[in-house]
Amino acid sequence: MASSKSCLLLPNPTSFSHSSPSSSSASSVPRAFPSALSRRRPDARRRLSLSSDGVKRGPVTGSSLDEVSVLDPPPRESELLASLKLKLLSAVSGLNRGLAASEEDLKKAEAAAKEVEDAGGLVDLSADLDKLQGQWKLIYSSAFSARTLGGSRPGPPTGRLLPITLGQVFQRIDVMSKDFDNIAELKLGAPWPLPPVEVTATLAHKFELIGSAKIKITFEKTTVKTMGNLSQLPPIEIPRLPDALRPPSTGSGEFEVTYLDSDVRITRGDRAELRVFVIS
């Protein structure tokens, strides 16, 4: 009879594989030990989170399992460039392509363009000339603040000696034929009571790539086409003057493409003129 009682005192064999000293001590101390564990648990949850795209994020902390804060990584290069482009377009908007720009406006546009150029890196047109293809709309020229149609080069003044109002300005580039056309919409003043004459002037050039990012254009001819009520008139073509009669500075020009993507182009002229274009 005594032996049967001693058998009842033997521990369950399964307790050797599943129990531990901590569990037995925990049963003897019902509340104090679990509360200590709960106080240490937030520190145990402090860890580094690895996102699905492999980017290491900052420490994950939280006061409970349901509230977790994650420190996001810095913006990606594409997001940064898009933000800088938007900043540039905002800086030049409302300046009437530079005609209404003050000295402060010129500085802001210059600084914003420089940020885009630095973020975009060097331009190599020798490997990707097709990016130039298309019709580009001029939205800003630093030289227009001098209120001349010729930019940094001598040109007819706007609203001073001649009653000329400048409309939209485009560059049409064909990389296959090497055609490079500067297109300007103009309003020419007429004696009262006649309305202004609307014309489109196309300055045709050929272009060639020099190095990796410099473009040289050579003037060929100018075509003037009347618009509006006089649109039925045929265009007037003004041929290129013979080399012996043409001033040396009007035959060609150079500029460098300092930034280029599918919708924005920034150029620097050979006389420090900054121009910003968008694809149209």
Buried b (16+ CB within 10 A) or exposed e, 168-182: ebbbbbebeeeebbb
Q: Is the pLDDT of residue 103 over 60?
A: yes
Domain boundaries, the chain: 22-73, 77-279
Measured in whole angstroms, how far is the alpha carbon of residue 8 from the centre of its chain? Answer: 82
DSSP assignment string, 75-95? PPHHHHHHHHHHHHHHHHTTS
**Predicted pLDDT of residue 190:** 81
Ramachandran quadrant class, 131 (left: phi over 0; alpha: psi -120 to 50; beta: rest): alpha
The 3-state DSSP class for residue 107 equals helix
Residue 248 has pLDDT above 60, yes or no: no
Distance CA 275, CA 256 (A): 10
pLDDT tens per residue, range 128-184? 999 999 999 999 999 988 755 544 444 445 444 457 888 999 999 999 999 999 999
- Reported confidence tier of residue 123, pLDDT bands at 50, 70, 90: very high
154 Cα distance to chain centroid: 31
pTM above 0.85, yes or no: no
pLDDT in tens, 42-99: 444 444 444 445 554 555 444 444 555 556 666 677 899 999 999 999 999 999 999 9
- Eight-class DSSP state of 73: P
CA distance 217 to 153: 15
Q: What percent of the chain stands above pLDDT 90?
A: 48
Give the relative orientation of helices 77-92 and 103-120 as an angle to the nearest 10 degrees: 160
Burial (CB count <10 Å: 0-12, 13-18, 19+), residue 191: exposed
State the pLDDT at residue 272: 81
Nearest to 204 by CA among 235, 159, 227: 235
Environment class of residue 205 by beta-carbon count within 10 Å: exposed (0-12), middle (13-18) or buried (19+)? Answer: buried
Task: Tell the residue number behind the tokens 């594409």, with chain if given.
Answer: 78
Q: Give yes or no for a cis peptide into 73 (omega within 30° of 0).
A: no
The β-bridge partners of 267 are: 257, 275
Sheet order of strands, 56-64 included: 47-50, 56-64, 67-69
The domain at 77-279 falls in which architecture? Answer: Beta Barrel (2.40)
Show the tokens assigned to 68: 């977790």
With a CB cutoff of 8 Å and minimum separation 6, the contacts of 151 are: 141, 143, 144, 269, 271, 273
Place of tokens 């010729």: 150
